[in-house]
Amino acid sequence: MIPLFVILRVHTSRRRKFGLWLPLFLIWLLLLPLALLMLPIFVIGCLIARMNPWRVFVAGWQLLTSLRGTHVEFEQQQSKVLLRIF
């Protein structure tokens, strides 16, 4: 299943906390018409590069669905950033 939510949290040295919840399902809905318009260009590009369009699509889909459960943290001296994908 594709990721549906992203949580972004930022902590600074001044004890300030900032959290942002992003609903990715809304972004997927907005990108769907663009993806349908780009589909013929994608297929033509794959055929020119002599790649199977179906295999490229499946590989991209697997990459997208594997993002679910990603947990990334960045930390510097004065700040910390946490990114979680659900």
Residue range of the domain that includes 44: 5-85
The domain total for the chain is: 1
Crossing angle (nearest 10°) for helices 53-65 and 24-48: 150
Tens-place pLDDT, residues 46-66:
999 999 999 999 999 999 999
Tens-place pLDDT, residues 15-46:
789 999 999 999 999 999 999 999 999 999 99
